[in-house]
Amino acid sequence: MKTYLLPSLKLTAVLIIICSVLYPLLIAGIAKVAPGGGDGVTVSSHGRVVGYENIGQKFTEDKYFWGRPSAVDYNAAGSAGSNKGPSNPDYLATVQARIDTFLVHNPGIKKEQISADLVTASGSGLDPDISIQAAKVQVPRIAKIRNRNEQELYALIDKVKEAPLFGFLGPEKVNVLKLNIELNVK
Amino acid sequence: MNTELIGVVAMFTLTVLLAIPLGKYIAKVYVGEKTILDFLAPVERFIFRICGIDSTKEMNWKQHMIALLSINMLWFVYAFIMLLTQGSLFLNPDGNPSMTPDLSFNTAISFLVNCNLQHYSGETGLTYLTQLIVITFLQFVSAATGIAALVVVFNAMRDKVTDKLGNFFDIFTKTVTRILLPISIVLAVILVFNGSPASFEGKDTITTLQGDTVQVSRGPAAGMIAIKHLGTNGGGWFGANSAHPLENPNYLTNMVEMIAQVLIPIAMIFALGFYLRKKRLAWTIFGVMTVGMLTFLIPTMIAEINGNPAITQMGIDQNAGSMEGKEVRFGTPASAYWSIVTTIISTGSVNSMHDSSMPVSGTMQLLGMMTNAFYGGCGVGILNYYIFIIIAVFISGLMVGRTPEFLGRKIEAREMKIASIIALLHPLLILAGTALSSWTIVNHPDAAWAVKPANWLNNPGYHGFSEMLYEYTSSAANNGSGFEGLGDNNIFWNITTGIVLILSRFLPIIGPVAIAGILAKKKFIPESAGTLRTDTGTFGIMTYAVIMILAALAFFPALTLGPLAEYFSLY
């Protein structure tokens, strides 16, 4: 064992320099020319930085599209899912309460129209997206409060929504923050 | 939903298409044939010179293991001390504290053994310094350690009688410079151009559109995320791992990370074929492993796409499947696929929260780790599978009345004893651990630990039991994923899983290497009409049956108490 200790020690030092110093510095350097410069990509509204493109935000006011429930209340200082099991009675009661709350805020909507992503917490607690159906079901509420034409809002969703990758891989979705920024434009 | 299923098929197809040429390249690296990265040779010679290593000096299997264990021991001490003192060191813009001794112990071991069980959250539990010089470093070298051990076994499987099995430091170093580092750079560049952070800026504070003030954690994450997958490590930069939108920003990065984590395990199978010139054997192994993967994947896909029956009863639209703990940008099929691949190959990174998976999926994720032989982690996957080949050869030999032989060597009592011990160690560690924790909860619910046993479980009933079973299974399989609701950052879990981690890493490396080393010194018997062929479909089915029957016998009772009972309570 002694024969191997000194070479091992030296090799460890060399590999720390390569893998933990040079490699991250190289990637940080390359990231300077990437969108956001390696600091994360931000988005602005009316000249003010209002958040990160990929990080979801909490929307509780009726005039905005809501995102998904979050186990960390959308504070990206941390990240976590609820870790509730599918048969947990407390968890199922929470989901039922979210459905009831949604129906109160969205009169005229039937519960079959509520997409499950609106009442279940995401894995990261920071999910920036909702499904198209989850956005559409909120249109009547927002149109009424903002005094706008529903068709116009459906068109807005179509404009902001993101197609599957290359048109055929993965789900269709809409970024809630971007949608709400567009909503505020007018 | 169709585009989501196509996404899954595309991910698997692309993985195999990339793994075949990579396997050929890997074989060339270890044979010493010309490759496109030969310009690195002077760099490697320079490393060997300043480290005082004679890379041409061949070692026998024991010397290999002593070298491997020596360098691993150094890494453990180094990592433990760094984590214990990180709070008072530099590169800590968020002002995160040092780890407690028990958490340092657990974390140092966990990353040393390629498991990456995390009893902390990256945002608050580590500093940028330790993320890089401890975590990222260990993610490189632990993967290289596993691959190096496998290459020793490759060397032993050649047709000549020898105890000279290459030089450990040579194989190990080339694994880092020729395979892990170059591919990681490519992956990290893809990640930064899709929005993963890579700079050294600390937390940002922003006022949201609605007017709330929140913080956003960042850091030099992209490089670590690359090797975390390529090296089948799985430990996340952020707490939510690859469900986090900065760690896995979109469907493209999800595909890239998914392919990256299973690329080397599959490529190593083909590398075996090229290295030993036994392509049929490689394809047989690949076939069995793929069937094994599908055995777990198909039920999981069906369960997740159909959604939670308790939520269906509430009358809402669950067309997108079970969305609790999942991200909209990946959807249920890609999350289900990830959850199975990550558990069979010992990566343990997650893009959805396994604790919230359907009971069938939970069973399949557990079985993925309990069998621990389909594709498997970097290097160690095939080492585990090698044990099952030995057992299958022996049983088949008994059944047809032939001397058990594998690749021209007789399997005798000594090799069988080693193989049996290694095969039984895995269920022993899992079941004993789960029994101990269950006993502790019942008999000492108020023990004064950081988290009282009474508060360990995040879910009541059967699912709570599954959380404990999952934790030990993940430790024993060196996987690292979790039913993360478990309150595991306390002395009980940190120490017990730490011990399971060490045993289940190094014994299953030493065992197969010892068997291969012993076999390599035995007389080589050329193939004849009386030889039991190991590269046929029949033998593949035999191996598959051995793996599945051993897992079923060992784990069926435990699974019945956990996810299976939950299934029957829910449907």
Domain boundaries, chain B: 2-570
Same domain, A154 and A169: yes
* A52 chain-B contacts, CB cut-off 8 A: 206, 216, 246
Same domain, A66 and A6: no
* A111 chain-B contacts, CB cut-off 8 A: 314-316
Confidence bin at A1 (pLDDT 50/70/90) = low
Which residue bears the tokens 């039920």?
B299
* B252 chain-A contacts, CB cut-off 8 A: 165
- ipTM value, please give it: 0.95
Contact B288, B40 (CB under 8 A): no
Q: What is the model's pLDDT at position B531?
A: 83
Same domain, A124 and A78: yes
Give the pLDDT confidence of A140-174 residue by residue, as tens digits: 999 999 999 999 999 999 999 999 999 899 999 99
Same domain, A111 and A163: yes
For residue B368, the tally of other CB atoms under 10 A from its CB is 31
H/E element holding B553?
A: helix B537-559
Same domain, A97 and A19: no
CA dist A39 → A74, A79, B326, B415, B436 (Å) = 19, 18, 25, 54, 45
Q: What is the model's pLDDT at position B495?
A: 96
Same domain, A28 and A92: no
Beta strand A129-130 with A48-52 is unpaired
Separation of first and last alpha carbons in chain B: 23
Q: Give pLDDT tens digits along chain B (571 positions).
A: 789 999 999 999 999 999 999 999 999 999 999 999 999 999 999 999 999 999 999 999 999 999 999 999 999 999 999 999 999 999 999 999 999 999 999 999 999 999 999 999 999 999 999 999 999 999 999 999 999 999 999 999 988 888 899 999 999 999 999 999 999 999 999 999 999 999 999 999 999 999 999 999 999 999 999 999 999 999 999 999 999 999 999 999 999 999 999 999 999 999 999 999 999 999 999 999 999 999 999 999 999 999 999 999 999 999 999 999 999 999 999 999 999 999 999 999 999 999 999 999 999 999 999 999 999 999 999 999 999 999 999 999 888 888 889 988 999 999 999 999 999 999 999 999 999 999 999 999 999 998 999 999 999 999 999 999 999 999 999 999 999 999 999 999 999 999 999 999 999 999 999 999 999 999 988 888 778 889 999 999 999 999 999 999 999 999 999 999 999 999 8
Same domain, A93 and A47: yes
In terms of Cα–Cα distance, which of B496, B492, B495, B486 is closest to B446?
B492
Q: Is the pLDDT higher at B536 or at A1?
A: B536
Burial class, A177, CB count within 10 angstroms (exposed 0-12 / middle 13-18 / buried 19+): buried
Same domain, A20 and A83: no
Give the pLDDT confidence of B236-255 residue by residue, as tens digits: 999 999 999 999 999 999 99
* A84 chain-B contacts, CB cut-off 8 A: 324-325, 355-356, 458-459, 485
Backbone angles phi, psi at B514, to 5 degrees: -65, -45
Same domain, A29 and A53: no
Between A85, A89, A177, which is nearest B356 by CB? A85
Between B198, B330, B466, which is nearest A28 by CB? B198
Query: In which domain, by residue range, is A21 found?
Result: 1-40
Flag if A10 and B169 touch (Cβ within 8 Å): no
Give the pLDDT confidence of A56-110 residue by residue, as tens digits: 999 999 999 999 999 999 999 999 999 999 999 999 999 999 999 999 999 999 9
Flag if A170 and B47 touch (Cβ within 8 Å): no
What does the alpha-carbon distance between residue B319 and residue B328 come to, in Å, rounded to a whole number? 13
Give residues with Cβ within 8 angstroms of B568, minimum separation 6: none
Same domain, A173 and A90: yes
Same domain, A3 and A66: no
How does DSSP classify residue A76? B
Tokens, residue B515: 């068997």
Q: What average pLDDT does the segment A124-128 reach?
A: 96
Same domain, A55 and A32: no
Tokens, residue B279: 């392509």
How many domains does one find in chain A? 2
Contact B123, A77 (CB under 8 A): yes
Beta strand B213-216 with B204-207 is antiparallel
CA distance A68 to chain B (A): 9
Q: What is the model's pLDDT at position A2?
A: 73
Flag if A113 and B317 touch (Cβ within 8 Å): yes
Flag if B3 and A172 touch (Cβ within 8 Å): yes
What does the alpha-carbon distance between residue B203 and residue B184 come to, in Å, rounded to a whole number? 25
